[in-house]
Structure formats: C-alpha cells, structure tokens
A and B are shown apart, each in its own frame.
Chain A
Amino acid sequence: MSISVKKDKSTQEDIKMSNENFITLLVVCVAIGVFLFASLLVPNFFQFQNMVNLVTNNWAVISLGVGVTFLLVSGNFDLSVGGIVALSGVLAVWFAQSIDGANALSSGGGLPTYLAMLFALAGAMAIGGLNALFVVRLKIPSIIVTLGTMMVARGIAQVITHGSQRNTNLPDDFGLLGNLTLFGTTIKLPVVLMLSLVLVAVFLERKTVFGRLTYWIGSNPVASKLSGIDSSRHQTYLYLFSAAIAGVVGILLASEFKSGFSNRGMLMEFDALVIALLGGIAIAGGFGSVIGMFFGAIILAVVTSAATGLVLSPDWQFILKAIAVFLAITTQTWALARRNR
C-alpha cells in the first residue's frame, strides 16, 4: 500500500525527487533487499505469513514510532513513550478492578471498562503535558526531560502495582479490545488501528498545514518563529499526540493480556527511536517521513527475526541493532552528500 503511494509521488515530480523522497525510497529498497537477503539465508523465511508477521508483531513499536517521528521532525526527542505504555496500561487495569478485592493488588476503582480506559488515556496525556511544560515553556533539552518523565511514568506504574502487576478481579469485557479480530481473519484490532494511524499520519504529514508546520519548525526554528508560527503551541500538540498514541498502545496491550504490568514497554522508547533513525529521520529535525519510519521498522524486524531464525542467541539483537543504526546513518549521510555534490 505504502509503496504504491510512494511510486505515484516520484512519477509526479518527474524531474528530480526531493531529498526526503530519495532517502525514503532508499530505505524502502534497503528493507526489500534485507528481506530478500534474509530469505536466502534463513529457511522458510520467504513466506507470505512471515511477511504479515513482520508487520503485525510490531504494531506497538510502529504506532509509537509515528508520534516519535513527528516530534523528531519538529526537532524534539520523546523517550517517555515506553514509560507511558506501562503507566496507561496499569492505570486502566487499576481503575477497572472491582472495589472489593481480597488484597491491595486486587482491588481498584471499580469503574466500567470504557471509563477506566478513558481516564487511563487522560493519565497518559498528562505525562505528555508534563513533557510539553518542561520542553516548550521552560526550554529544557527534550532528551533530559523525556528521560525524566519516562522514569516518572514508569515509577507511578511501579507504585500502583507494587513493582509487579495487577491482573485479578477485572470485568470480563476488559480483555475485549486487545483481542478483537476483524472480518473473520486473524488480524487483530490493534494492527488495523496501527495501519490506519500510519495512513492518517502520512496524510497529515504531506497534505495538511499541521504537517508542513512541523517540518518548518524543525528545519529552522528561528525563521518559523519570525514568520509568526506559534511553535510552542504546535510542539505542545505534538507531545500530547505522541503521549495519546502511547496511552492507547498501553491500554490495548493491557487489554490483550488482561493485566497491568509495570515493566511493560521497557526499552520500547529506544526501539521507536531506532526505527525512526533507520527510516532516515534526521535527529536535527525538519527531515524524514512516516513511511521511512515504517520501513525502518521492517528492516529492524527482518534483522532481528532473521537472527532468531539463524539460531543466534537473543543477546545478538543488541549488536545487530547497533550495526544497523550505524550503517543506516552513515549510508544515508553518504548518499545525500553524493547526490547533492
């Protein structure tokens, strides 16, 4: 789907693609190349079901990647998303547990499921608001702030679950949303939500004022300010947007497993950042696309699942990630420099 959109664009702007489309195309080609290469090495890798799995198994990280990508494009980090995933899941479970549990960990707010989930989402967005307050109003570097809020969010989740998890005394309909399959297929609702989120994000990024403003703010903060763009408000929206996505992901995961686990989403913030970097999003801001991030996620998924297929120990994933990001960054820099020579 996304590939065909890509091709339409490059034929429309016939003479010369923008640098951004060039890099996105490069990422898509690399993703396909890596997949074909892995198919040669790993037996049974080249199967339709495996291709589907590469996307569906990573719905959570790809969804988080959308918010992180928008923020990176505007020139900001968001490392708090992993903590927010844990927090919103734990909050949803806590609010939904009935009041009359046997001990502290099995009794909660006794709210109906939909209200519990709404309040949990509000809690997640409060962390996004905190990010915005510190980054936008107090102008503290976003990497420090979001590392802090990541710990605060996970810390609150740990206090609520006493460092472990809450999974008893939940209403039956709590597990509905995360396990819902659609149209008689095995595709789950979260996956469909992720795909629609990616499509909406691509539309937002290319066709709306909101999306273009994000690029202007990221590529030249001073000029965008002088042209009268309210960049503080815009960045606040972006942080709330990212926190809301992370909140929904956390609630869906909690619903899927019918538990609120304080260690859920651990290191997801780094994976979301890694797939954005693999997808060609520049850390300096103003450059990159959601499609690139999507295929960056495919690259990471292929690399890690191929490593598992080759019966490497799971410990290899850290080294593979490091090498993948290093190669992605150096080749992208090299390709751009060569192209614009």
Chain B
Amino acid sequence: MTFQSHLASFLRNYYIYLVLIGVVLLLSVANLDRFDFFERGNFLNQKNIINILRVSAPILTLAGAFTLLMVSGYIDLSVGSAMSLSAVVYAMLVINGMPFLPAFGITILVGMLLGIINGFLVVRLKITPVIATLITLSLYKGIALLLVQDGVSAIKSGGGLKMPAWFNSYGRSGILLGLPMAFWVAVLVTIILIVIQNRTLLGKYAAATGGNPTAAKLSGVNTGKVVISLYVIVGITAALAGIARSSFMSLGDPLSGDGMELTAILVVLLGGTAFSGGEGKVLRSFVGALIIMALTVGMLTLVPAYYQTLVIGGTLLAAAASNHLVSRKAAS
C-alpha cells in the first residue's frame, strides 16, 4: 500500500470525525471577537454543549436504527409522524395520572405497533417503501392531530388536567455529567445497535438484504422477517425520540416530529451510508447527528434563524454528492 491509498482509506473511515472537529472549531472561533474561548456565549461553553446534547436526544436516538434500515435498502418516511404520535400518546398518559414507567412502556409498545404496520405494508402487501411510509406518515400525523382536542395546539396543562412536575425531568435534568436521562438512553440505544450490527445475525442479514436481496433470499435469509424487525426497531426508537422531545418541551405536540424524516436521512447520508443499501455504520450516523445539531444550534449565534432551511437543504445535497463521489472512488 502506498501512502496515498493509506491516506484515502483513512479519510474514508474517519472523515466524519474530522468534519465534526472542523464544525466545532469553526463555530468556536466564529464569535471570538466578542467572547473568550470557554466563556458564556461562545460555542465551547459547558452550558451550551449540555444544551445542544439535550436538544439532540431525539435524533441521536433515531440515527442508529434508521441507519440499519437504510443499510438493508429500505426507508421510513413516517418516523417524524411516529415520533409526534408517540409524544402525544405519552403526554396523554402522563397528564391523566399514569406514573413514568407504565406510560414509558405503553408508548414504546405503540412505537412497535407503528413499526409493525410499516413492515406489514412493505413486506406483506409489497407496497414500495417510499409510498407505504408516505401513507403512514399521513396516517400517524392525522391520528396525532385528532388525539389532541379541537382548538388546542398540544397536550398540556389546562382544562382541569395538570402535567405533573416530574414530567420534564427525563429530558432536562442532568443525572450524569449534567446530561439528562434521554441523552443516556440515546447512547445506550446506539451501543445496543452497534452490537446488533457487528455481532448478531440480524446485523449481517440487514447488510446482506441491502447488498443483494436476491442472493440473500437464495442463501436462506428470511428477508421479510429481517425487514419487519428493522421497521419495528425504528418504531421503538421513534417512540423513545417522541418521549424525549415531549418531556423536553413539557407538552405533547402533534407536530413536534415534523421534518424528522428529513433530518434522519440527512444524518445517515452524512455518516456515509450508501442510499442503495449494503453499507453503513451506526456509530458514524451518531456522529453525523452530532454534526447536524452542532451546526443548526451553533449557527443561530451567527445568522438569523431563517437561514436554517437553506443550510440544512444545502448540507443534504452536499452530503449526497460527496457520498456518491466517495463510493464511486471506492468502487473503481
């Protein structure tokens, strides 16, 4: 191996970390004429970092599962709606007096059910994944909106019901290193998914299904079962993301997950997962999610909020293009 090929493979494997470091560096020097390096107001301030990680809990939870699904060559456009619906269900259960654990468990069961519906449409009814999950995007969003009564924008205190005081501690109060439960659940989910991807048959079968579905089927892989399991895993993480978002905002907002499917796709593409399936790493998508959140939150100190859509859209195109160029290099 020559030096160049070493460098190329190093870049291919570790570029995402370099991008993260680059973004963080850029954002931390951007305001240096006004603030000191670790001072309040600058990017690398402890409060700011904790805040970014707290806000990122939903996408960090989702990124890994979405990666596995995309590795198998499938997609789920309904994650945003599934997240909203879970947030609403969780808030409804809690506001009606249910304690934390049962409400948590029931919401996760709801997430599993939503995943099973997606898997059923795609695998049993053989509807194209994009269309099937577009249908459920609309369906879940509609249900979430209908659960919230007319004239009210979200499930929140009022009308004789009061959200208990502990409601937002899951998403807000620090338990370790100043970070809340929701963040550590995201880390735990990611670790489990890394193990699933690297150490279990499900991980191998997911890659096989994405790489060459026919070959996988002929070698005896039950691809239908694999795909349904992956949709269920995505459903569970969507429910966890919904709980995290809902307890962070202290309300059950039926629109809180809007656009999450785009962020998830963006994060996974940024992590270098090929859209055609077969390749991709859970950890890299996790880092991709950190990059996007650092960028969107950090940007707010530099430019007005209305630049956000443009920057995210531009990043999506850039990620897709660079992804494509890298994978073509690797193939040739």
Contact = CB atoms under 8 A, between A and B. Distances in A.
Nearest to A155: B310
A144 B265 contact: yes
B146 A313 contact: yes
Q: Is the interface of A mostly helix, strand, loop or mixed?
A: helix
A162 B304 contact: yes
B278 to A, nearest CB: 14
A150 interface: yes
Contacts of B321: 134, 138, 140
Contact of B306 (A150, A158, A270, A323): A158
**Most B C-beta atoms less than 10 A away, residue of A130, A140, A144, A147:** A144
A318 B255 CA distance: 13
Given A139-B324, A152-B310, A319-B143, A326 B317 contact: no
B41 to A, nearest CB: 24
Contacts, number: 114
Contact of A325 (B135, B141, B262, B276): B135
Contacts of A319: 138-139, 142-143, 146
A270 B106 CA distance: 31
Given A155-B310, A159-B310, A277-B131, A318 B138 contact: yes
Contacts of B306: 158-159, 161-163, 262
Interface stretch (B92-100, B122-130, B172-180): B122-130
B154 to A, nearest CB: 13
Candidate in B139, B141, B276, B305 with the most chain A CB atoms within 10 angstroms: B139
A323 B134 CA distance: 11
Contacts of B316: 144, 147-148, 151
A115 B199 CA distance: 63
Interface residues of B, number: 39
Interface in A235-283: 262, 270, 273, 277, 283
Contacts of A329: 127, 131
A149 B139 contact: no
Contacts of A141: 275-276
Contact of B262 (A147, A273, A284, A326): A147
A315 interface: yes
A322 B142 contact: yes
A148 B128 contact: no
A156 B304 CA distance: 13
Interface string B136-167: 11110111011000100000000000000000
Size category of the binding interface on chain A:
35 or more
Contact of B265 (A147, A156, A283, A313): A147
Nearest to B318: A148
Interface in A93-116: none
A143 interface: yes
A250 to B, nearest CB: 16
A155 B309 contact: yes
A316 B142 contact: yes
Contacts of A188: none
Contacts of B307: 155, 158-159
Given A152-B310, A158-B310, A315-B145, A143 B305 contact: no
B269 interface: yes
Given A151-B313, A151-B316, A325-B135, 15 more contacts: A134-B320, A134-B321, A145-B317, A148-B316, A148-B317, A150-B313, A156-B310, A163-B304, A270-B134, A284-B128, A318-B139, A319-B138, A319-B143, A319-B146, A326-B135
29 contacts: A140-B324, A145-B320, A147-B265, A148-B314, A149-B317, A150-B313, A151-B262, A152-B310, A152-B317, A154-B309, A155-B307, A155-B309, A155-B314, A156-B310, A159-B306, A159-B307, A161-B306, A162-B306, A163-B305, A262-B306, A277-B131, A283-B130, A284-B128, A316-B142, A317-B142, A318-B138, A322-B137, A325-B131, A330-B125
